[in-house]
Amino acid sequence: MSEKRGILIVISGPSGSGKGTVLKRLMEKRDDFKLSISATTRSPREGEVNGVNYYFVSREDFENRIKSDMMLEYAEYCENYYGTPKKEVVDCLNAGQNVILEIEVKGALQVKKKYPDAVLCMIAPPDYPTLEARLRGRGDNVPEAVIRERLDTAKYELSHIGEYDYIVVNGNDMIDEAADEIIGIVDAEKHRSTRCNTFVDDFFSAEKLPCGVN
Ligand code: 5GP
């Protein structure tokens, strides 16, 4: 017995947590998960494709979507809008797919408020030195000020960890394990009694009871 509707999973994690790689591995392992495609006003980076990585839209378009109540959540991050288109997510959940939103903290907390049965999961690096080494080790000549800013943002994001339902620590060379932990969390959540609230009604429904039992 488990819920037929999909589970809404929100994944956050600071830059350097490896959340993108973990989610890519999870998607390779399971086909009942769908990664939501967000809308954003930021410009595409090299190699990013509209409708695959994001829906790249203008500020005006984004603000119209907000006004028309088409966004499940949204936030401004580094002077750009980012948000989750509502319809696709709701359709997938109703079709029994688990939907993953990979979003920052403010958006995640909005989702929890609107949909209390969403599962919020923070992917964290194992410790500060590992995070710093990952951010510095990317080798793309990032200026020191940007590294410091990313570390500060990580501190802010991790300070909200208590508002998340689960923490998954992504250690070095532990991508498989981290993906399996998220899968385990979602599979367990499917059996939470509060998600299976039609079970008792079905169990005792008149047509299923033997004659003479009421
Ligand atoms: P990036 O520009 O590096 O792709 O993403 C910047 C941040 O925006 C990341 O923390 C990412 O998780 C977050 N983000 C991506 N899509 C959404 C969204 O739909 N809503 C919110 N609130 N944050 C998002």
Q: What is the pLDDT of residues 6-17, one digit of tens each?
A: 999 999 999 999
* Mean pLDDT value across the chain: 94
User: Cα dihedral sign for 166, 100, 32, 126?
Assistant: negative
For 156-206, how does the pLDDT look when each residue is reduced to its tens digit (9 = 90+)?
999 999 999 999 999 999 999 999 999 999 999 999 998 887 888 888 887
Q: What is the residue with the minimal CA distance to atom 7 of ligand 1?
A: 104
Q: How close is the Cα of 54 to the center of ligand 1, in Å?
A: 10
Q: Is 35 in the pocket of ligand 1 (CB under 6 A)?
A: no
Strands (DSSP E) found in 4-97: 8-12, 33-35, 39-40, 55-56, 71-77, 80-85
pLDDT for 204 equals: 85
**Which ligand 1 atom is nearest residue 80's CA?**
2
**Which ligand 1 atom is nearest residue 14's CA?**
10
Range 29-45 burial, b when 16+ CB lie within 10 A, else e: eeeebbebbbbbbeeee
End-to-end CA distance of the chain, in Å? 23
Q: Is 104 in the pocket of ligand 1 (CB under 6 A)?
A: yes
Q: What is the residue with the minimal CA distance to atom 23 of ligand 1?
A: 103
Model confidence at 4, pLDDT cuts 50, 70, 90, reads confident
Q: How close is the Cα of 94 to the center of ligand 1, in Å?
A: 24
pTM exceeds 0.95, yes or no = no
For 117-157, how does the pLDDT look when each residue is reduced to its tens digit (9 = 90+)?
999 999 999 999 999 999 998 767 788 998 999 999 999 99
pLDDT for 3 equals: 61
pLDDT for 213 equals: 73
